Amino acid sequence: MRKISIGWPTILVATLGFQATAAADKRQVRYVNIHPVAKSDGGGMCQIEGPHVHVYEADKLQYRDHHGANFFVGDPVAYGYDGPKKSYKGHHPIHVHAVVGTPEPDVEFCYLDGAHFHAFAPPPGPEFQVAGDAHFYVAEPPPVYLEARPAFIGINAIYTPIVYTRPRVIVEPPVGWIGIRAGFGGGVHVGGPGVVVATPGVFVKGPKVKVKGSIGVGIYVPPPPSINVNIGVGIGVGGGYKVKGGKRGRR
């Protein structure tokens, strides 16, 4: 009987060919800019800033579609990112085209409550004001923000259990910040200095809320969707929203 001998180079080529075929069978998913790596692929951060592909899907809460690619709108520090970063407080728009360098305007929105990081600063303009090194969104939010908020507000449930160092923002928010505007409440509580009422006595009257203590301080707030009245720590009302080139983007 004739024996056939197969050398190691032949086996290696066959093995590599099989692995390449297996990888090709997985659907390639397009991404743009830095983003977390799926736990199934080792976790951590992908540092590629330009367009690229992976073989794992992007979740619908932390990503937005940018011309067919997935753009990460969450907090990269939560996944181990240690590069340049900027602090934000509350919900705000993200000018994706400015971040990735594409000409066509593409504005998405971050729905993270409270203080968080992004790897980019907002473009210059009146939309944001900086206080305590954090960016606060103070412009008039479009109606589509409220329409899209229920679909994306769940991103906060992803970050709540993650233990990492968030930015400390304890300054008084600037006038016009979306987190304290009536009609845009969404769970953002105002921290830091505020109006302190020295008890006793809380009076709720008519369509407005009046908090009055022994020092005779009165606070009047137009009726938002929800109101938190805390004796001794001030009042917190939250909010946020989303726009994409004047149209709602793909979820």
pLDDT tens digits for range 80-121: 999 999 999 999 999 999 999 999 999 999 999 999 999 999
In sequence order, which residues have a C-beta less than 8 Å from that of residue 200 and are 6 or more positions away? 213, 214
Cα atoms in the 13 Å half-sphere on the side-chain side of 222: 6
> What range does the domain containing 65 cover?
8-196
Q: Residue 248: inside a domain, yes or no?
A: no
pLDDT for residue 239 is more than 60: no
Counting runs of H as helices and runs of E as strands, what totals does the chain give? 4, 17
Token duo for residue 27:
């659907």
**Residue 73 within a domain:** yes
Closest by CA position to 166, among listed 156, 176, 178: 156
Is 202 within the bounds of a domain?
no
| Number of domains forming the structure of the chain | 1
Q: How far is residue 238's CA from residue 188's CA, in Å, rounded to a whole number? A: 4
- pLDDT for 218-237, tens place per residue? 444 444 444 443 434 333 33
Q: Is 234 a domain residue?
A: no
Under DSSP, is residue 156 helix (H, G, I), strand (E, B) or coil? helix
pLDDT tens-digit series, residues 169-199 = 999 999 999 988 766 654 444 333 333 333 3
Q: What pLDDT, on a 0 to 100 scale, did the predictor assign at position 181? A: 76
In-domain check, residue 100 = yes
Residue 94 lies in a domain: yes
Please indicate, yes or no, if residue 99 is contained in any of the structural domains.
Answer: yes
Is residue 104 in some structural domain? yes
